[in-house]
Chain A
Amino acid sequence: MSERPGSASRHWRNQRLTAIALVPLGLWFLASLLRQPSLDYAIVSGWFAKPLQAFLASLFGAALLWHSMQGVQVVLEDYVGGPLRGISIVIARALHVGAALALAFAILRLAQGAAS
């Protein structure tokens, strides 16, 4: 996917940026998840109803999905050949964008649960 000059190095740099961001964000998420007394609906909806937690959860999700897309793209470029390569990358990208939209919608809705 080197359609523009410099796009490969930008890809490389962005992947490192999301990697660095995911060290604290990933540890935050896992620690928060494992610290919950249970994963019942009331506890989980209460967790994401707190503004800071909802903010961190969306930051984590955005970094995770972005980093995931970058990694999946590299794997597809290495292992898929021919016309399937471009198609598989487009499908992977669409799935990741869809997931990001679904995540944003879900977190907004859970955060609003606190107000109502």
Chain B
Amino acid sequence: MYTMVLSILHRASGLVLSAAGFLYVGWLAAAAAGPGCYERAVRWLSSLPMRIALALALAAFWYHLFAGIRHLSWDAGLGFEKRTARRSGVVVVVLAAAAFAATIFLTPAGRFLAGMP
């Protein structure tokens, strides 16, 4: 059950990051189009729904990164034993939560997403 939830979370976070990848392209395309277009894009990205979406993408980034490293180590034949796999799942969630909290609270861009001064 618990490993199944983590596996679905890996897929879900991947899909969130796919959407974020398209935002990355749109953001750079707006910058290439010029200052006026870029300003409008940033104003849209600064709206509350988009800030929530970007914070979600940040959480997805950290989860997908650590869970992805866990998957890659399985491919290398490491940590596939049941107890080790359960334990590494906990490590992934804790690391992702800590990294998310650090980037949200300790960086200017993160504090902006969280709506903090």
Indicate with 1 or 0, residue by residue over B55-69, a CB within 8 angstroms of chain A CB atoms.
000000100010011
Judge if B108 is at the interface, Cβ distance under 8 Å.
yes
Does the CB pair A68–B31 fall under 8 Å? no
Interface residues contributed by chain B, number (CB under 8 Å) = 29
Is chain A's binding surface mostly helix, strand, loop or mixed? helix
Per the bound structure, the CA–CA distance linking A21 and B68 in Å amounts to 12
Chain A contact patch, size range:
35 or more
Q: How far is the CB of B80 from chain A (nearest CB, A)?
A: 16
Determine the chain A residues whose CB is within 8 A of the CB of B72 once the complex forms. Answer: 16, 19-20
Write the nearest CB–CB distance from B31 to chain A, whole angstroms: 5
Q: Chain B interface secondary structure, helix, strand, loop or mixed?
A: helix
CB within 8 Å for A99 and B38 given contacts A34-B103, A71-B14:
no
Q: Which residues of B contact A20 (CB under 8 A)?
A: 72
A106 with B25, Cβ < 8 A, contacts A34-B103, A68-B17, A72-B18 known: yes
Nearest chain A CB to B46's CB is how many angstroms away? 9
For chain A, residues 25 to 45, give those with C-beta under 8 angstroms from any C-beta of chain B. 26-27, 30, 33-39, 41, 44-45
Residue B98 at the chain A interface, CB threshold 8 Å: no
Please, which residues of chain B bring their CB within 8 A of the CB of A72?
A: 15, 18
Q: Is the CB of A36 within 8 A of B28?
A: no
Interface contact B14-A44, CB-CB below 8 Å: no
Inter-chain CA distance A19–B75, complex, in Å, is 12
Contact with B along A35-78 (1 / 0, CB 8 A): 11111010011001000000001000100110010011001000
| Chain A residues proximal to chain B, CB less than 8 Å | 16, 19-20, 22-23, 26-27, 30, 33-39, 41, 44-45, 48, 57, 61, 64-65, 68, 71-72, 75, 95, 99, 102-103, 105-107, 109-110
Shortest Cβ-Cβ A-B pairs, 5 listed: A106-B32, A109-B32, A68-B18, A34-B107, A106-B28
